[in-house]
Structure 1
Amino acid sequence: MIDRLEKEVDMLERHLQVLRMVIENEPIGIVKMSNETGYPHHKVRYSLRVLEEENLIEPSSQGAITTEETQAFVDDLDGKVEEIVDKLDEMKIEDATAIEG
């Protein structure tokens, strides 16, 4: 159960790193992103597809570029991450004796 969550967080981290590269270097292609991140081409391609499905990037003849929705997503991101962190903090079992009781 936790392993699955950890894999999802790792994948989200990769998607966000790819998005950051597009924002900072647009237009940018798969090869350059792969070389700079160290992620294999197929993982970069998958992240780009996910970001495109979310309307955060779009393809161009020179490489991936941001969309009109990208900035709003970035503006909301920190707040959403904080909400998730708060939920995860609430799930912690601080006192193992409470389980034994």
Structure 2
Amino acid sequence: MLAIVKISWRISQGELNSFQIINSSIMSSTASKLVLGFSCIITTGIVAYVHVKQQIDRERMHDGVIKDTERQQRRKIENLYILEKQKELTKQLKNDMSS
């Protein structure tokens, strides 16, 4: 904490008349208010950043689930198509072998 020292001398006697320490409460108060305000702004910014980042991450995860579901559906359709082709080829092979 800063302190301003005010010393007054009695010129005629050459001795210390009064020794006063004036607390610079105005300067400390202003400085502490600035530090507090800056800390609040930084904290608010960090909290807002984390909140937005979490929302973006949630949306990406949700998009990933949707893409996985679509991929599974595509694979299922492809597998059914391959199965149908194999059935046709099996029938054709049986017909060729019986003839």
TM-score normalized with structure 1 length: 0.29
Look at both structures and tell me which one has the larger radius of gyration over its CA atoms: 2
Higher helix share: 2
> Which structure carries more relative contact order (alpha carbon 8 Å, separation 6+)?
1
Higher strand share: 2
